[in-house]
Amino acid sequence: MKKIFLNFIILTLLTCCSAFANPDNKNPHEYCKKQQEIDNMLNSRLHLTEEQKKCLEENRALFRTEMQKTVKKMEFLRKEIKKTYKLTKNKIEADIKTAPLKIELVVLKQKADNIRMQNRKNFEKILDSNQKIEFEKIKQEFHEKRAQNKTKELN
């Protein structure tokens, strides 16, 4: 009986610890792996110099901090909208209450898009003419691959 009880407590502790360790059930290293793959591909195809890599890291750090602020605000607004819909019984009343939040959310999405575009422009400023040509090829390949994936999803 003591062994069963002890095993039950250990199992409970392990499941609780794992739930608190990763509450969103997201792989924290997935983004890092994807970013590392992109970095390796860009380094191999664009032949970036050490100075360019350093400038790229600085730009990426600034981009990341700006995006994190914007994304946190967007997540907060989405939670507020969901909470309002849950607490309000009448859908029309909830729509009226959440309208300003939805407008603010659209503005934040546009801000995030502007931050992304500025990041890409800053990246392209770093490149020389040959690297820009190769980067345009990479973008074209990416767009083609994306279009193929969308057609697969539709079929």
| pLDDT greater than 70 at residue 24 | no
16 pLDDT band, cuts 50/70/90, is: very low
Q: pLDDT for 110-148, tens place per residue?
A: 999 999 999 999 999 999 999 999 989 988 998 898 888
Q: pLDDT for 97-117, tens place per residue?
A: 999 999 999 999 999 999 999
Question: Which amino acid would we find at residue 8?
Answer: F
**Half-sphere exposure in the Cβ direction for 112 (13 Å, CA):** 16
According to the model, what pLDDT value does residue 118 have?
A: 94
- Taking the chain, what is the end-to-end CA distance rounded to the nearest angstrom? 57
**What are the angstrom distances between the C-alpha of 63 and each of 49, 116, 129?**
21, 8, 24
Higher per-residue pLDDT: 16 or 68: 68
150 pLDDT band, cuts 50/70/90, is: confident
Would you mind telling me the total number of residues written for the chain in this entry?
A: 155
**Every domain of the chain and the residues it spans:** 49-155
Three-class DSSP labels, 82-119: HHHHHHCCCHHHHHHHHHHHHHHHHHHHHHHHHHHHHH
| Cα–Cα dist 56/61, whole Å | 9
| pLDDT greater than 60 at residue 10 | no
Mean pLDDT check: name the lowest of 32-36, 43-47, 54-58, 95-99.
Answer: 32-36
| Cα–Cα dist 93/72, whole Å | 26
| Cα–Cα dist 83/98, whole Å | 10
